[in-house]
Amino acid sequence: MKLTISLQVTVDGVAQANGGNNDELDPGFTRGGWAIGAGDAAAAEYILETWQRPDAFLLGRKTFDLFETYWGARRDDGGFGQAISSTPKYVVSNSLSDPAWEYTTVISGDLTSQIRALKSASEGELLVVGSVALARWLLEHELVDELNLIQFPVIVGQGESFLPRQGRDFALDLKDSRVFPSGIVALTYGVGGRPQYA
């Protein structure tokens, strides 16, 4: 399977708390909900289509818990809830053993080997949404095939950036780009190789 990371980010790279403030998940971050005021119907439809496309989801534990509570309760909504609830989900966790959300499998231990095995087991797409720490880890371990960034026209000036200031370098190949009426820009890149430097 192709492993794709799809994240909503600000112009300054912040990927946390796009839907609102949550003191438990994002302690001290008070600028949550930055995606709410900048959204539009066309961008929302694009994001929904992204969620409806994969053969499976890969989630970190915090995102899984949040999504299970919110989207799992909307499993028949014809939208995001149905898309993720009806699709196989893999959650990375060393503490979760018996998930209640249907079609969920827990992976733990040697994640690199397990995710490589998962990718080579079948065709299709394995999609990471939310799960910023997991997304960074996957990129650092060279497990990502495609990066889909939905950039909102806002600078929040604080918060956790998706990409660290220091880390591995990657060349990106632009596969698709879309600009929506609100100024949201969706950029899809193939990930591979190293950049050329002067």
pLDDT (tens digit, 9 = 90+) per residue, 80-134?
999 999 999 999 999 998 999 999 999 999 999 999 999 999 899 999 999 999 9
pLDDT band at 22 (very low <50, low <70, confident <90, very high): confident
* pLDDT higher than 80, residue 39: no
- pLDDT at residue 160, rounded to an integer: 83
Query: Which residues have C-beta within 8 Å of that of residue 104, sequence separation ≥ 6?
Result: 64, 88, 89, 90, 91
pLDDT (tens digit, 9 = 90+) per residue, 51-89?
999 999 999 999 999 999 999 888 889 899 999 999 999
Whole-model pTM: value is: 0.94
| Helix H or strand E segment including 44 | helix 41-52
| Helix H or strand E segment including 4 | strand 2-10
Mean pLDDT of 164-187: 95
Mean pLDDT of 129-144: 95
